[in-house]
Chains A and B, each alone.
Chain A
């Protein structure tokens, strides 16, 4: 699946998008896998209360299933308007 990062999450991880092959079944499992990779991921995902997640472009929760997801995106709370 594609994993996308926006705003300071993108800056901390250092890229806007990457292809991730994973057996994770939920967002939380995917986060655990990413955090274990490198310090920059650990830094980005250190405080999940400061993050929001969208699966296939719909806002959801960290316990959401991702088994059939094409796209998972992580970002800080939105500041539109």
Chain B
């Protein structure tokens, strides 16, 4: 299991390749990458991501442990960035390895659903005409229910 909370960019290709190699008993690897999305009118200058040092690492590890205990997984990877990110930059990635793809897909969705609403990150959009905290979506909270 690898958990990383960092301000610097990560190399998605290298992380995915590293994660996918060295498991000859795992037939499936699923990866998900979150990217800073510009606003429809292209006014986003930066996505500022704040987090709670200490709690973030604990929360991510707890979510990953839950995935490992719930599905038959060979390994789990979570990388999440903080700080100021430009539109198009990668914010985070998760990867799951399992013997069969169903477990890998489901566990990756579970990780994403929990990361959205249970990991202490807050996003602020720095726009060309101001700044706004991103509000949590009710649908994100609702999507946790399928796992409860």
Query: Does A59 count as interface, using CB distance less than 8 angstroms?
Result: yes
Interface of B is mostly: mixed
A-B contact count (CB 8 A): 67
Cβ of A6 and Cβ of B34 under 8 Å apart?
no
Residue in A closest to B94 when the chains form the complex, CB atoms: A81
Cβ of B136 and Cβ of A76 under 8 Å apart?
yes
Cα–Cα distance between A64 and B63 once the two chains are bound (Å): 22
Cβ of A73 and Cβ of B55 under 8 Å apart?
yes
Cα–Cα distance between A81 and B117 once the two chains are bound (Å): 8
Query: Does A13 count as interface, using CB distance less than 8 angstroms?
Result: no
Cβ of A78 and Cβ of B121 under 8 Å apart?
yes
How many interface residues does chain A have, given as a range?
10 to 19
Residues of B with C-beta under 8 A to A76: 122, 133, 136
Knowing A6-B52, A54-B52 touch, does A75 contact B120 (C-beta < 8 A)? yes
Cα–Cα distance between A80 and B59 once the two chains are bound (Å): 11
Interface set, chain B 12-34, CB cutoff 8 A to A? 34
Residues of B with C-beta under 8 A to A57: 52, 54-55, 58-59
Q: Contact mask A48-81 → B, CB, 8 Å, 1/0? A: 0000001001110000000000000101111111
Q: Name 7 interchain pairs, CB-CB below 8 A, sorted by A.
A: A57-B52, A57-B58, A76-B133, A78-B119, A80-B120, A81-B91, A81-B121
Residues of B at the A interface (CB closer than 8 Å) are 34, 50, 52, 54-55, 58-59, 80, 91-92, 112, 115-124, 133-136, 141
Residues of A at the B interface (CB closer than 8 Å) are 4, 6-8, 54, 57-59, 73, 75-81
User: Beyond A6-B120, A73-B52: 14 further Cβ-contacts under 8 Å?
Assistant: A6-B50, A6-B52, A54-B120, A57-B52, A73-B120, A75-B120, A76-B122, A76-B136, A78-B120, A79-B121, A80-B80, A81-B112, A81-B115, A81-B116
